[in-house]
Amino acid sequence: MKRVFSALLVCAAMFAACGDDDSDTFLVRGHNTSYSNDDEYDFSSSSARSSSSSDRRSSSSSANSSSSSIGDSYLDVFYKNGPSRDCDFGSLTDDRDNQVYRTVVIGEQTWMAENLNFAYLQPDSLGQFDSASACYGNLPEYCDVFGRMYTLDAGPKVCPEGWHLPSLEDWDVMLDFVGGAEHANLKLISSYGWKNRLSVDDPYCFTVLPGGFYDTTGYRDLEIGASYWTTTWDDTFELSPVRNIYFERTRDYVYEGGATEKNKMYIRCLKD
């Protein structure tokens, strides 16, 4: 596969801790069975919430008052929408917290069709448990939609048993199967939620959502992009040796980018 390279996500500043206050709260993501595929959404206007989405949001014990001004109507879009066509989904139940995820077969690989949302904790150098994952903007509502962003150290450890964090080569296999990285963005992103998105129909039901990423400047690219860890290192990229995959709203192609331990990004687990 001809890879597409980008200098995105290079961080030089010191890492700022950004774990949300509800890292020990598991948010079970619901799967709607009735979907619409409107071309445009007004994320700024208020809209009636479905009872299921309201229930999921109220499950968080630390509802942030700012979420009503930046997220409510936007989040409603995700609670009410899904893949734009019928998909032959499998399912994965994570025994650690009983969350259920959609899975999808692409070629000979089985992928999670949603981002991982396991609230992973790990001990720091002093033996204290510190959050190794976060919700966009530290708002639990976004974990319910996009899953959680993880630190580099947590990435290889956090997938459920029988699944693993994919390498760049694993991603290459999938990108080749859907026609190559040059056109894969249009075939793998969701058909809703992207700001001024290109017209797509999510033919492989992979449904990448525009949940952004985190670097030392803060949370970035909501509605615009989504970034994923891989296990692959390339020391020739001295400032950003960890390879990542990045989807962007206006491009046909998928980026291969570079990242460091200062980033937090999403994870799609791949079946062993």
Q: What is the pLDDT of residues 64-90, one digit of tens each?
A: 333 333 344 556 666 566 665 678 899
Annotate 34-67 with b (16+ C-beta within 10 A) or e (fewer). eeeeeeebebeeeeebeeebeebbeebeeebeeb
Q: Are the C-beta atoms of 116 and 266 separated by less than 8 Å?
A: yes
* Residue 194: burial class (beta carbons within 10 Å; 0-12, 13-18, 19+): buried
Euclidean distance between the first and the last CA atom of the chain, given in angstroms as a whole number = 22
168-177 and 181-188 helices, crossing angle to 10°: 80
H-run or E-run covering 105: strand 99-106
Predicted local distance difference test score (pLDDT) of residue 106: 97
Give the pTM: 0.73
Q: How far is the C-alpha of 214 from the C-alpha of 217, rounded, in Å? A: 8
Q: How far is the C-alpha of 253 from the C-alpha of 25, rounded, in Å? A: 36
Where the chain has pLDDT below 70, the residues are 1-85, 122-125, 127-130, 197-198, 238
Predicted local distance difference test score (pLDDT) of residue 112: 97
Predicted local distance difference test score (pLDDT) of residue 87: 85
Q: How far is the C-alpha of 139 from the C-alpha of 63, rounded, in Å? A: 8
State whether residue 15 is helix, strand or coil: coil
Predicted local distance difference test score (pLDDT) of residue 77: 63
Q: Are the C-beta atoms of 225 and 244 separated by less than 8 Å?
A: no
State whether residue 225 is helix, strand or coil: strand
Q: Are the C-beta atoms of 269 and 159 separated by less than 8 Å?
A: yes
Token pair, residue 172, equals 């290459």
Predicted local distance difference test score (pLDDT) of residue 83: 61
